[in-house]
Amino acid sequence: MSELFVVGISWRTAVVAVREKLAFREEELSDTLRAMKAELPEVAEALLVSTCNRVEVYGVAKPGQDATGAVRRFLAEKRGQKPADVADVLYDYRGDHAVRHVFRVASALDSLVLGEAQILGQLKQAYGVAGGAGTSGPVLGRCLERAFGVAKRVRSETTIARGASNVSTVAVELAGRVFGDLSGKSVLVVGAGKMSTLAARHLRANGAQHIVVTNRSPEKAEALAAEIDGIAKPWERLVDLLAEADVVISSTGAREPILTKALFKKVTKARRYRQMVVIDIAVPRDAEPVIGEMENVFLYDIDDLEKVVHQNLAERAKAGEHAMKIVEHEAGQFEHWLKSQGVVPTIRALREKFAQIADAEVQKALDQLGRKDHTREQQREIIQRLVHLLVNKLLHQPTAALREARGDEATLRAEVLCELFGLEPVEGERESQPALAEPQAEPERKAAT
């Protein structure tokens, strides 16, 4: 039977300096997969996913073969590494462990940030590449499709994806708690730090349309404004800019607070006390804590944002336990399906053989009926005979095999037949009457006349 396997490296086993040595660029994936299929006879199907947190091969080994060793060597050699050098950081899973791993990865239960949404898209993309390269097949296809279904179930049935998981999305979430829809809201970015750029981008993505940047250095303000599609305004107009802003993101390198109580007294009055969210992500802080006590001013510093992140991640971890149960259940169902695939060729052959016999007998009966007009009685006899003949022919071979067997083999065959056909043999009637009549020629002649 074909066996699913996983060979890979992830953030759990290696630092980025090691992971990047085995990483593949998007445009390399297709050729790498084709080469793997061509060079490794053990591999029947393969998919390669390469992200910043993992490089993994999901594959199906040919019946009776173990492909993991060959794939380990292949990965190392393709990236110019000695297999022994990366042996410790590479892991592999086979069979049900591999299925569970794929389901966990798709559901973001194996991600650095539990419940993150990116990995599912990356897996879908990798599956598309494998399809394009012609290296994915029915087993891998079924496994991946199921994995996407499991991921969807996990996201909808648990709270694994709830709550912002990084500082900049928390800033957006907090602004949303005050304003709801951010479309039409004005954002002021004070300073030109990397964090404020990220937060401003998130606000833009969530509907904020008017983003103004101000900095002591006009050049830096211009550069950042261009990067986030905002407008640079002079630092000297800070009070006016604050009065016009609904959300302020501050991350300057100032040693003393620049958003002071005295300044905000003017600002809140000029705003006619409309609600205002101030996100201070600078260290040392840009805003005096006391402005957070002013009416309708909501001030959050970097510690507050991180507190929310930790809280959300803790909630996600709790949801992860429920999600693992879903993965276990779904993996069990997939394994059941996979095992059933081993008997599919036998089922197919059995059906084909029976269909051939049936077609031949039906054709004979139709020929008889077509030769001349028959009375209803004659037609009935032809059909009855067809059914008898069909039953006899279908059962001829198994009956003969049963009669020919001796000793334990005979008992075993009899038991299998009983189980397959749901029979309950009666002891006293063993040889008293023939269970199956051999094909008789007489009715055929009679019917043909």
Partner 1 sequence: MTGEVDRLLSVPPSPAFWAAVVCYAAAATMLLVVLAGKQKLRPLALALVGLAFVAHGIDIGWRGTQHVHPAQSVREAIGFLAFILTGGYLLASAKFRLTIGGVVVMPVALIMLVAARLTPAGTEPESLSTLGRIHISLATIGVGVFALASALSAIYLVEERALKRKKFDAISFKDKGAPLESLDRLANRLIWVGFPIFTVALVLGAVWVSKLGESLDRPEYPLAGVTWLAFAGLLVARQVYGWRGRRAARLTLAGFAAALAVLLIYLLRRIVG
What φ, ψ does residue 110 adopt, rounded to 5°? -110, 10
Q: Which stretch binds partner 1 (CB under 8 A): 291-299, 374-382, 413-421, 427-435?
A: 291-299
Smallest gap from residue 173 Cβ to partner 1 (A): 9
CA atoms within 13 A on the CB side of 437: 9
CB of 298 to partner 1, least distance (A): 6
Residue 187 to residue 208: CA distance in whole angstroms: 7
- The reply to whether 206 sits near partner 1 by the rule CB under 8 A is no
Q: Is 179 in the site for partner 1 (CB under 8 A)?
A: yes
Q: What is the per-residue DSSP string for 329-375?
A: HHHHHHHHHHHHGGGHHHHHHHHHHHHHHHHHHHHHHHHHHHHS---
Question: By C-beta, is 264 or 300 nearer to partner 1?
Answer: 300
Are residues 87 and 29 in contact, defined by beta-carbon separation less than 8 angstroms? no
Q: Which of 18, 113, 178, 410 binds partner 1 (CB under 8 A)?
A: 178
Please state, in angstroms and rounded to a whole number, the distance separating the CA atoms of residues 167 and 251. Answer: 13
Which residue's CB is nearer to partner 1, number 308 or number 382?
Answer: 308
DSSP designation for 437:
P
Tell which positions 48-87 bind partner 1, by CB under 8 A.
none
Q: Which stretch binds partner 1 (CB under 8 A): 40-48, 227-235, 267-275, 404-412?
A: 267-275
Q: Is 304 in the site for partner 1 (CB under 8 A)?
A: yes
The single residue among 58, 74, 300, 334 that binds partner 1, judged by CB under 8 A, is 300
Residue 327, SS3 per DSSP: helix
Nearest to 368 by CA among 355, 385, 352, 354: 385
Q: Distance between alpha carbon 150 and the CA centroid of its chain, in Å?
A: 7
Within residues 155-174, the interface with partner 1 by CB under 8 A covers 159, 174
Least Å distance between CB 164 and partner 1?
11
Tell me how far, at minimum, the Cβ of 210 lies from partner 1, in Å: 16
Bridge partners (DSSP) listed for residue 189: 213, 249
Residue from 25, 272, 336, 376 binding partner 1 (CB under 8 A): 272
Q: Is residue 135 within 8 Å of 38, Cβ to Cβ?
A: no
CA quadruple 331, 336, 342, 345: dihedral sign: negative
Partnered with residue 188 across adjacent β-strands are: 212, 248
Candidates 128, 138, 180, 342: give the one binding partner 1 (CB under 8 A). Answer: 180
Residue 143 φ then ψ, to 5°: -65, -45
- CA torsion sign for 94, 100, 103, 106 is negative
Beta bridge partners of 276: 297
Residue 28 or 293 with smaller CB distance to partner 1: 293
Residues 308-367 close enough to bind partner 1 by CB under 8 A? 308, 311
152 binds partner 1 (CB under 8 A): no
Select the span of 23-31, 95-103, 305-313, 400-408 touching partner 1 (CB under 8 A).
Answer: 305-313
Choice between 145 and 303, CB closer to partner 1: 303
Distance of alpha carbon 445 from alpha carbon 439, whole angstroms: 13
Asked whether position 115 contacts partner 1 by CB under 8 A, the answer is no
Choosing from 1, 38, 52, 317, the catalytic residue is: 52
Which among 135, 141, 15 is positioned nearest to 23, based on CA atoms? 15
Count CB neighbours of 342 within 10 A.
11
Q: Which is nearer to partner 1, 166 or 399 (CB)?
A: 166
User: Shortest distance, CB of residue 250 to partner 1, whole angstroms?
Assistant: 17
With beta carbons less than 8 A apart as the criterion, state whether 72 and 7 touch.
Answer: yes
Q: Smallest gap, in angstroms, from Cβ of residue 243 to partner 1?
A: 12
- Contact stretch for partner 1 (CB under 8 A) within 146-154, 179-187, 362-370, 435-443: 179-187
State yes or no: cis peptide before 284, omega within 30 of 0. Answer: yes
Stretch that binds partner 1, among 273-281, 349-357, 366-374, 375-383 (CB under 8 A): 273-281
Q: Is 52 a catalytic residue?
A: yes
Q: Take residue 61 and report the two structure tokens written for it.
A: 């080994």
User: Which one of 177, 322, 325, 380 is in contact with partner 1 (CB under 8 A)?
Assistant: 177
Nearest distance in Å: CB 293, partner 1: 8
* Stretch in the footprint of partner 1 (CB under 8 A) among 56-64, 89-97, 287-295, 328-336: 287-295
- Contact pick of 12, 265, 274, 380 for partner 1 (by CB under 8 A): 274
The whole-angstrom separation of Cα 77 and Cα 144 is: 27
Binding site for partner 1 (CB under 8 A): 159, 174, 176-181, 272-275, 292-293, 295-296, 298, 300, 304, 307-308, 311
Instruction: Give the residue numbers marked as catalytic.
Output: 52
